[in-house]
Amino acid sequence: MNSAVDSWHLTDWTFQEFYKNDERFQDIEKVNKKGKTKFISGIGIYQHFLIKKCPELEYMRLITNGTKHCILRDSNRKEKTVLKQGDFSSDFCRKDYHVSRFIIEIDKQKELDFEETLLKTIEFWKSFLDSHK
């Protein structure tokens, strides 16, 4: 959980460090077709930009918000997290030798291994931060 939270919060930290004055990521107000004004924060624009570069960050965001609020506030989201038990096997592998692991369940047919998803975000952040040296 902590690694997901830290991975997501790097969006806040890198925004403050590198992009808070970037013209692409400034607060804006948009007026919809009904004439209602919607405020969009610069950090939100930046986070959306990063999720396009690393889609796995969206799962880190969902896990972060879920650990903070205990539920997903967006009732349209179907993802959930579960602990998955591996089966017994003669060839030891931590993923299938009765070892619990954290799974992101997209729907009944698709699930992602949390560790693999997290490792993709770590590689993204390594590359991203290296590009800012």
Please classify residue 36 by burial: count the beta carbons closer than 10 Å to its beta carbon, then call 0-12 exposed, 13-18 middle and 19+ buried: exposed
pLDDT in tens, 29-41: 988 888 889 999 9
Residue 34's pLDDT is 86
Q: Are 65 and 72 in contact (CB under 8 A)?
A: yes
Rounded to a whole number of angstroms, the CA Rg of the chain reads: 18
Residue 87's pLDDT is 52
Residue 82 bridge partners (DSSP):
103
Query: What ranges do the domains of the chain cover?
Result: 2-130
Sheet holding 111-113, edge to edge: 80-84, 101-105, 111-113
Extract the tokens encoding 66.
Answer: 């879920």
Q: Are 49 and 11 in contact (CB under 8 A)?
A: no
pLDDT in tens, 43-90: 999 999 999 999 999 999 988 887 765 555 555 655 445 455 555 444
Q: Are 117 and 104 in contact (CB under 8 A)?
A: yes
